Amino acid sequence: MSEGHPRPGCPVAGAPQPLDRSGEERSARALREARDLGFTLAHVSNQPMIAPSILSADFAHLADEMAAVNGAPGQRADWLHVDVMDAHFVPNLTLGLPVVESLLKATDIPIDCHLMIEDPDRWAIGYAEAGAHNVTVHVEAAKDPIAIAKDLRAAGAKAGLSIKPNTPLDPYVEVLKHYDTLLVMSVEPGFGGQKFMAEVLDKARKARELVDTGHLNLLVEIDGGINADTIEQAAEAGVDCFVAGSAVYNADDPAKAVEALRAKAAPNFAHARQ
């Protein structure tokens, strides 16, 4: 993709869109109601969920980049993964709440906010109130993760908890009973394009076992180094939702890349649930 130019065939930002944009945008409540249905269906879906990460997209044309993965049913992203970084919790700076609010107005794909920030106890609620579908905080940064989960849910969002590659799962199993999503990091958070860390899959397997035996009720999500070469082993470990950045947005056709990743994961995804 050439820098600074919309993708061929993608609607230009600002052009008429199929979404109803008359007057004010749909309220955050209406957005959450629509997206709650998607989350419920995901729990019983027999298909892997693909969440393209806009960290690998062209920031000059984010509306077009989101439209590029909003194709036919088989090629449509399940979630859009938005990395919020503050240059303190991780050594990178990306975007914040005002940009997320704009993204929510430009797509009907559920927004999955991954907050790699200090003091999520203070800041996470704003993303839920804006209408984000799933808001994930890091257990390493949260002072009171149970209170955060309650606040996010009260605001109408799903609550996600993320753990870094070197953070063990076992100490947080009881905390995870208050959460809707577990995000297992398979790279050190902060930058895209890193090599997949297969050793974290033991945590995904443990989480899958806890879900299947009724101890937890959540989606298992993985983020970092997911591509055509790694998605199968992540699916075999019991992952539900796969965050993919460069594997989608470096492709000539991002929508077809979403379809290909989903197809690649599907056999092991089904096997892990037998």
Which of the residues 58, 83, 86, 180 is marked catalytic? 83
Token pair, residue 80, equals: 């859009």
- Does 71 show up as a binding residue in the annotation? no
Sign for the CA dihedral angle at 99, 130, 141, 173 comes to: negative
Q: What are phi and psi of 169, to 5 degrees?
A: -85, -40
- Does 102 show up as a binding residue in the annotation? no
- Does 246 show up as a binding residue in the annotation? yes
The sheet carrying 134-138 orders its strands as: 49-52, 241-244, 219-223, 181-185, 158-163, 134-138, 111-116, 80-85
Calpha distance 110→133 (Å, rounded): 5
Residue with the two structure tokens 């959460």: 179
Q: Say whether 121 is catalytic.
A: no
Calpha distance 14→21 (Å, rounded): 11
- Does 114 show up as a binding residue in the annotation? yes
Q: Say whether 144 is catalytic.
A: no
- Does 190 show up as a binding residue in the annotation? yes
- Does 83 show up as a binding residue in the annotation? yes
Is the Cβ–Cβ distance between 159 and 148 less than 8 Å?
A: yes
- Does 9 show up as a binding residue in the annotation? no
Which of the residues 58, 78, 180, 223 is marked catalytic? 223
- Does 64 show up as a binding residue in the annotation? no
- Does 5 show up as a binding residue in the annotation? no
- Does 192 show up as a binding residue in the annotation? yes
- Does 119 show up as a binding residue in the annotation? no
Cite the annotated binding site for a divalent metal cation by residue number. 81, 83, 114, 223
Cite the annotated binding site for substrate by residue number. 53, 114, 190-193, 223-225, 245-246
Catalytic residue ranges: 83, 223
Cite the annotated binding site by residue number. 53, 81, 83, 114, 190-193, 223-225, 245-246
